[in-house]
A and B are shown apart, each in its own frame.
Chain A
Amino acid sequence: MPQNEYIEQHIKQHGRRLDYEERKRKREARELHKVAENAQTLKGWKGKQFAKKRYSEKVAMRKKIKAHEESKVKGPKKPKEDDGEALPTYLLDRQQQTTAKAITSSLKQKRMEKADKFSVPLPKVRGISEEEMFKVVKTGKSKSKSWKRMITKHTFVGEGFTRRPVKLERIIRPSALRQKKANVTHPELKVTVLLPILSVKKNPQSPMYTTLGVLTKGTIIEVNVSEMGMVTAGGKVVWGKYAQITNEPDRDGVVNAVLLV
Chain B
Amino acid sequence: MATLIPPPSKKQKKEAQLPREVDIVPKDLPDVLIKFQASDSGETVGSSIRVPGGITERQLEELLNQLQNNTDEPVAYSFAVQNGDNLIDVKDNIYFSVLKPGIKTTEDTLTLVFTPRAVFKVRPVTRSSGTISGHGATILAAQFPPSTSGYFVTGAGDSTARLWDCHTQTIKATMNGHSNWVLCVAYSPFGDVVATGSMDGSVRLWDGKTGAPIGSSLTGHSKFVSSLAWEPAHLVQPGDSPRLVSASKDGTLKLWNTAMKRCEMTLSGHSSSVSCVKWGGTNLIYSGSHDKTIKVWDAKEGKCIQTLKAHGHWINHIALSTDFALRSGPFDHTGTTPKDDAERQARALKNYEKVAKVGGKIVERMVSASDDFTMFLWEPARSNKPICRMTGHQKLVNHVSFSPDGRYITSASFDNSIKLWDGRDGKFLATFRGHVAAVYQTAWSSDNRLLVSCSKDTTLKVWDVRTRKLLSDLPGHADEVYAVDWSLDGARVVSGGKDKMVRIWTH
State the A residues within 8 Å of B (CB).
77-80, 82, 84-93, 104-105, 108, 229, 231, 233-237
Q: With an 8 A cutoff between CB atoms, is B317 at the interface?
A: yes
- State A104–B458 Cα separation when bound (angstroms): 11
Shortest distance from the beta carbon of B330 to any chain A beta carbon, whole Å: 29
Residues of B within 8 A of A93 (CB): 273, 290
Residues of B within 8 A of A231 (CB): 436-437, 456-458
Select which of B176, B224, B317 is within 8 A of A90 by beta carbon: B317
Shortest distance from the beta carbon of A80 to any chain B beta carbon, whole Å: 5
Contact A229–B437 (Cβ < 8 Å): yes
Residues of B within 8 A of A105 (CB): 479
Contact B224–A234 (Cβ < 8 Å): no
Shortest distance from the beta carbon of B184 to any chain A beta carbon, whole Å: 6
State the B residues within 8 Å of A (CB).
136-138, 140-141, 156-160, 176, 178-181, 183-184, 199-200, 224, 226-227, 249, 273, 275, 290, 316-317, 398-399, 435-437, 440, 455-459, 473, 475, 478-479, 482-483
- State A85–B138 Cα separation when bound (angstroms): 8
Q: Which residue of A lies closest to B477 (CB)?
A: A233
Contact A79–B436 (Cβ < 8 Å): no
Q: Which residue of B lies closest to A236 (CB)?
A: B436
Contact A235–B227 (Cβ < 8 Å): no
Contact B178–A79 (Cβ < 8 Å): yes
Contact B181–A86 (Cβ < 8 Å): yes
Residues of A within 8 A of B459 (CB): 234-235
Contact A235–B435 (Cβ < 8 Å): yes
Contact B440–A86 (Cβ < 8 Å): no
Contact B478–A88 (Cβ < 8 Å): no
- CB within 8 Å for A234 and B475 given contacts A80-B181, A88-B482: yes
- State A84–B140 Cα separation when bound (angstroms): 12
- State A178–B48 Cα separation when bound (angstroms): 79
Residues of B within 8 A of A91 (CB): 482
Residues of B within 8 A of A233 (CB): 458, 475, 478
Select which of A87, A89, A108, A229 is within 8 A of B138 by beta carbon: A87
Residues of B within 8 A of A236 (CB): 436, 457
Q: Which of B159, B178, B275, B483 has the most CB of A within 10 A?
A: B159
Shortest distance from the beta carbon of B197 to any chain A beta carbon, whole Å: 9
Contact B159–A80 (Cβ < 8 Å): yes
Select which of B138, B456, B475 is within 8 A of A86 by beta carbon: B138
Contact A108–B180 (Cβ < 8 Å): no
Contact A84–B137 (Cβ < 8 Å): yes
Select which of B140, B200, B436, B458 is within 8 A of A87 by beta carbon: B140
Shortest distance from the beta carbon of A8 to any chain B beta carbon, whole Å: 44
Residues of B within 8 A of A87 (CB): 138, 140, 157, 181, 482
- CB within 8 Å for A90 and B457 given contacts A80-B180, A235-B436: no
Q: Which residue of A lies closest to B456 (CB)?
A: A231
Contact B183–A80 (Cβ < 8 Å): no
Select which of B184, B473, B475, B478 is within 8 A of A89 by beta carbon: B184
Contact A235–B455 (Cβ < 8 Å): yes
Residues of A within 8 A of B456 (CB): 231
- State A82–B398 Cα separation when bound (angstroms): 26
- State A235–B180 Cα separation when bound (angstroms): 30
Chain B at the A interface: SS class: loop
Contact B180–A79 (Cβ < 8 Å): yes
Shortest distance from the beta carbon of B361 to any chain A beta carbon, whole Å: 33
Q: Which residue of B lies closest to A237 (CB)?
A: B436
Contact B437–A88 (Cβ < 8 Å): no
Contact B179–A84 (Cβ < 8 Å): no
Contact A88–B483 (Cβ < 8 Å): yes
Residues of A within 8 A of B181 (CB): 80, 86-87
Contact B479–A235 (Cβ < 8 Å): no
Q: Which residue of A lies closest to B290 (CB)?
A: A93
Contact A88–B158 (Cβ < 8 Å): no
Contact A88–B440 (Cβ < 8 Å): yes
Q: Which residue of A lies closest to B483 (CB)?
A: A88
Shortest distance from the beta carbon of A161 to any chain B beta carbon, whole Å: 13
- State A35–B445 Cα separation when bound (angstroms): 77
Shortest distance from the beta carbon of B319 to any chain A beta carbon, whole Å: 13
Contact B473–A92 (Cβ < 8 Å): no
Residues of A within 8 A of B437 (CB): 229, 231
Contact B179–A86 (Cβ < 8 Å): no
Residues of B within 8 A of A92 (CB): 183, 224, 226, 249
- State A178–B349 Cα separation when bound (angstroms): 74
21 A-B Cβ contacts within 8 A?
A80-B199, A82-B137, A82-B157, A82-B158, A84-B137, A86-B158, A87-B140, A88-B140, A89-B183, A89-B184, A89-B226, A90-B399, A92-B183, A93-B290, A105-B479, A108-B478, A231-B436, A231-B457, A234-B459, A235-B473, A235-B475
- CB within 8 Å for A90 and B436 given contacts A79-B158, A79-B180, A234-B459: no
Contact A80–B179 (Cβ < 8 Å): yes
Contact A90–B138 (Cβ < 8 Å): no
Q: Which of B176, B316, B473, B479 has the most CB of A within 10 A?
A: B479
Shortest distance from the beta carbon of B275 to any chain A beta carbon, whole Å: 7
Shortest distance from the beta carbon of A112 to any chain B beta carbon, whole Å: 11
List 5 tightest A-B contacts by C-beta distance, closest first.
A86-B157, A235-B459, A79-B159, A86-B138, A82-B137
Residues of A within 8 A of B136 (CB): 82
Select which of A79, A88, A104, A234 is within 8 A of B179 by beta carbon: A79
- State A192–B399 Cα separation when bound (angstroms): 34
- State A86–B178 Cα separation when bound (angstroms): 14
Residues of B within 8 A of A108 (CB): 478
- State A13–B156 Cα separation when bound (angstroms): 63
Residues of A within 8 A of B249 (CB): 92
Residues of A within 8 A of B455 (CB): 235
- State A235–B159 Cα separation when bound (angstroms): 29
Residues of B within 8 A of A234 (CB): 458-459, 475
Shortest distance from the beta carbon of B6 to any chain A beta carbon, whole Å: 13
- State A85–B227 Cα separation when bound (angstroms): 20
Contact A84–B227 (Cβ < 8 Å): no
Residues of A within 8 A of B137 (CB): 82, 84, 86
- State A61–B141 Cα separation when bound (angstroms): 44
- CB within 8 Å for A88 and B458 given contacts A233-B475, A235-B436, A235-B473: no
- State A77–B473 Cα separation when bound (angstroms): 43
- State A85–B480 Cα separation when bound (angstroms): 12
Contact A90–B458 (Cβ < 8 Å): no
- CB within 8 Å for A88 and B159 given contacts A231-B436, A234-B459, A235-B455: no
- State A108–B183 Cα separation when bound (angstroms): 27
Q: Which residue of A lies closest to B399 (CB)?
A: A90
Shortest distance from the beta carbon of B3 to any chain A beta carbon, whole Å: 12
Q: Which residue of B lies closest to A90 (CB)?
A: B398
Q: Which residue of A lies closest to B478 (CB)?
A: A233
Contact B140–A86 (Cβ < 8 Å): yes
Shortest distance from the beta carbon of B485 to any chain A beta carbon, whole Å: 13
- State A177–B179 Cα separation when bound (angstroms): 61
